[in-house]
Amino acid sequence: MIDIHVHFFPPAVFRAIWRFFEVESKGLWPIKYKIHTEEHIARLTEYGVERFTTLVYAHKPGMAAHLNRFIAEWAAKEKRILPFGTIYAGDADRVAEARRIFEDEGFLGIKLHPFVSNEELDDSGFFPVYEMIEDLGRVVVCHPGSAPAYHSQDGVHRLRKVLERYPKLKVVIAHCGAYEYDGYPLLADEFENVYFDTAMNCIHGSTWHNNCPGPAFFQKYQDRILYGSDYPNIPYAYPQQRTALEDLKLGPEIEAKIFRGNAERLLGIVA
Ligand SMILES: [Zn+2]
């Protein structure tokens, strides 16, 4: 099993994020796994995850390079890591940093989280970075949807502007685009390299309600959906994500694509 949506921050940053989640959610989002580095990886292995990404994001200038160095360090010693870093549009050295992480460090992609970073996906500061990512065939994982509690719903429109400029850009829309389940699939219909990850979708009684686009979505986009969990920042036990997807009864062929095959193809992983 490959998990495309795993966070891997330095311990101090993780602690700040967990505090933020728990305070902001007023107790609705208790973090189940307050673990990092070795323990974080050991637990994933226990749950049957063979390869996983290291999603990070920055919310202020100068932070991206620090996060990227942390990821590079870990990727060098842990082969199960599929290294993902981040880029901050407000950093003057963003293009050089992108070149460094892709060409020198071999990162597979970046994560962008507009709501946390306060930088929209169509910020022109990202354009040269998108161009590089498109040329190199790397991947952008982003969280443009309004779930769980963001106010803006114009992510579809902004991402469309990006894709009109970089139509071959490989983009993974986190959380299946929740809650704009009607909007993001239109981008997948129009642009060949638009994918989705399953993080926090279809889990009953979770912090997110109306969090499942239904079996028809999974059938239609079976070649574009990648298993993702959002671990460790989740308010329930890790295996619930897998069970929730299995409960959709999509059949072994589609499950094989979602849990592994699509990620192998997208990231160029040789099995
Ligand atoms: Zn996430």
Report pLDDT for 153: 87
Find, among 70, 1, 5, 2, the residue nearest to 232 by Cα. 5
Label the pairing between strands 225-226 and 109-112: unpaired
Distance CA 232, CA 13 (A): 13
pTM for the structure as a whole: 0.97
Distance 236 CA to ligand 1 centre (A): 14
Distance 5 CA to ligand 1 centre (A): 6
Report pLDDT for 206: 61
Distance 215 CA to ligand 1 centre (A): 22
Distance 29 CA to ligand 1 centre (A): 13
More confident residue, 212 or 205: 212
Instruction: Evaluate whether 155 touches 179 at the Cβ level (below 8 Å).
Output: no
Report pLDDT for 86: 98
pLDDT tens column, 157-209: 999 999 999 999 999 999 999 999 999 999 999 999 999 999 999 998 767 77
Distance 16 CA to ligand 1 centre (A): 15
CA angle 2, 254, 110 (to 5 degrees): 35
Distance 136 CA to ligand 1 centre (A): 24
| Domain edges within the chain | 2-266
Label the pairing between strands 2-3 and 139-142: unpaired
The CATH code of domain 2-266 reads 3.20.20.140
Distance 142 CA to ligand 1 centre (A): 9
Distance 200 CA to ligand 1 centre (A): 9
More confident residue, 149 or 260: 260
Distance 242 CA to ligand 1 centre (A): 16
